[in-house]
Amino acid sequence: MSAVAKESVPALLWRLWRDPAAWSTTADIFVILIAVSLPWSTSLVAIFAAALLVSMAPFLDIKALLQSLKRPICALPIALFALAVVGTLWSNASWGERLYAVGPTVKLLMLPVLLYHFERSARGMWVFAAFLVSCSLLMAMSWIVALDPGLALKSGASYGIPVKNYIDQSQEFALCAVVLAYPVVTLLRAKRALMAALLIAASLSFVVNMLFVSVSRTALVTMPIMAAVFALLHLKWRNIVIVVCVTAIFGGLAWAASPQLRWRTATFLRDYELYKERNEPTSIGIRLEFWQKSLRFFAEAPVIGHGTGSIRGLFKEAAVDQFGAAAEVVANPHNQSLNVAIQWGAIGIVVLYAMWLVHLLLFRGDGLATWIGLMVVVQNIFTSLFNSHIFDFNEGWMYVLGVGVAGGMVLRKSSLAAALATRNSVKP
């Protein structure tokens, strides 16, 4: 009988308890569970994130972690959180509103943790595979709910939206659809046509769901930008022309066949006209109203802003004696830059844009992890023109998870390459 078989259960558990590799594997599992639960649940994401921190604590190399925090890719997310905390000191909002406004920035503290962990773990791609599978299951559920709304997992669900909302769902599906383009091209170049065909089918299934079930206008704007980035980075000009022609043909067919697509596109002009002619609070109308007022608020305190949690109070004052779209009161101007500018002024804008920039620069070069990280950052930057997606729960966690895991994988690859080069250089 082997030594492992003879080992008692308590002894085995004690050995695993003292094994750093076992704790590292446990941390990997919790990150995978975060990826699986993100398309479905907010509470599970918070629970698994807390469990991740606990699982990393026993054998955490504090010195190495602190050293890693000096890098701009880690320091800038922490700086944005710190700015939110310090910004409570000059805000006129109630302390409840100030502390509530700090909450959306807390998730940014997980970014350095994930970068640190996946610089040392080899299971980063498992996380992204888990997210893809989870989104695929959500897509299947979306079709089911479209056929039978009674099967939705929440009451009063919209058409084809089993959980959460159509904006979150579109964000996830759009990211999956575009990210799959890279492995498809890689497989085709390696002449692995069958596997490439399966991934093409998976990518198109996300697109078809958005065309015929539900899609956000933000996704309609940002998906072509993400696709253009892929084409410019990974395709030759001849292939780009072919892809553009094929896309135009299929786009025309989709337009003719999808009432959902035509309706969603038509609402751009309709909402704008209703706002301009009748001052009605349409989706586009209130955004234009929010942005105009936000620029005025920013001009009033351009350096340090009005403080954390001040947005609702400012809009409430501006809504006095107003009606229609001008009377709307919100705590979110639906633009990430303006959200930051109102609360923390130009200082906040510098920190936000510096964070985006260093994360973009992290994902230079080739490789699937690099491509995933790049698309996560690009999607977040452009969707943040219409929403505050760093601070929103679902999109913010997509950013933290994508940049943290993919960034750690890129850093790991770079460290291994440097170690190999050093070892080769000292050989006689």
Regarding whether 329 and 402 lie in a shared domain, the answer is yes
Q: What is the pLDDT of residue 36?
A: 96
Tokens coding 221: 């704007």
Does residue 148 belong to any structural domain of this protein?
yes
Tokens coding 137: 């299951």
**pLDDT range class, residue 149, cuts 50, 70, 90:** confident
Regarding whether 164 and 146 lie in a shared domain, the answer is yes
Regarding whether 208 and 155 lie in a shared domain, the answer is yes
Regarding whether 133 and 87 lie in a shared domain, the answer is no
Provide mean pLDDT across the span 213-236. 79
Higher pLDDT, 263 or 386: 386
Regarding whether 330 and 287 lie in a shared domain, the answer is yes
Provide mean pLDDT across the span 69-78. 94
Does residue 56 belong to any structural domain of this protein?
yes
110: amino acid identity, one letter:
M
Domain boundary among 269, 298, 324: 269
Closest residue by Cα to residue 173 from 208, 212, 121: 208
Provide mean pLDDT across the span 43-59. 92
Does residue 157 belong to any structural domain of this protein?
yes
**pLDDT range class, residue 424, cuts 50, 70, 90:** low
**pLDDT range class, residue 328, cuts 50, 70, 90:** confident
Does residue 80 belong to any structural domain of this protein?
yes
Provide mean pLDDT across the span 341-356. 95
pTM listed for this prediction: 0.88
pLDDT over 90 for what percent of the chain? Answer: 48
Regarding whether 227 and 317 lie in a shared domain, the answer is no
Q: How many domains does the chain have?
A: 3
Does residue 313 belong to any structural domain of this protein?
yes
Provide mean pLDDT across the span 100-118. 94
Task: Look up residue 306 and give its DSSP letter.
Answer: S
Regarding whether 244 and 233 lie in a shared domain, the answer is yes
| Alpha-helix runs per DSSP H in 159-282 | 166-179, 181-189, 193-212, 217-234, 237-257, 259-278
Regarding whether 340 and 203 lie in a shared domain, the answer is no
Burial category of 26 from C-beta neighbours within 10 Å (exposed 0-12, middle 13-18, buried 19 and up): middle
List the single range of 50-64, 172-186, 206-220 with lowest mean pLDDT.
Answer: 206-220
Highest mean pLDDT among 196-200, 215-219, 259-263: 196-200
Does residue 274 belong to any structural domain of this protein?
no
Higher pLDDT, 322 or 178: 178
Q: What is the pLDDT of residue 257?
A: 62
291: left (phi over 0), alpha (psi -120 to 50) or beta: alpha
List the single range of 124-133, 148-157, 377-386 with lowest mean pLDDT.
Answer: 148-157
Domain boundary among 245, 269, 293: 269
Q: What is the pLDDT of residue 270?
A: 65
Mean pLDDT of the chain: 84
Q: What is the pLDDT of residue 1?
A: 45
List the domain range (segments joined by +) for residue 193. 128-269
Tokens coding 214: 């539900």
Q: Is the pLDDT of residue 259 over 70?
A: no
Residues in contact with 357: Cβ distance below 8 Å, sequence separation at least 6, in sequence order: none
Does residue 223 belong to any structural domain of this protein?
yes
Provide mean pLDDT across the span 395-407. 95
Q: What is the pLDDT of residue 271?
A: 63
Regarding whether 104 and 197 lie in a shared domain, the answer is no
Q: Is the pLDDT of residue 41 over 60?
A: yes
SS3 271: helix
Q: Is the pLDDT of residue 113 over 90?
A: yes
Q: What is the pLDDT of residue 278?
A: 61
Regarding whether 295 and 264 lie in a shared domain, the answer is no
Q: What is the pLDDT of residue 211?
A: 83
How far apart, in Å, are the Cα atoms of 281 and each of 273, 276, 330? 11, 10, 12
Regarding whether 291 and 161 lie in a shared domain, the answer is no
Q: What is the pLDDT of residue 401?
A: 96
Regarding whether 304 and 427 lie in a shared domain, the answer is yes
Q: Is the pLDDT of residue 333 over 70?
A: yes
Q: Is the pLDDT of residue 4 over 60?
A: no
Domain boundary among 60, 81, 101: 60
Does residue 264 belong to any structural domain of this protein?
yes
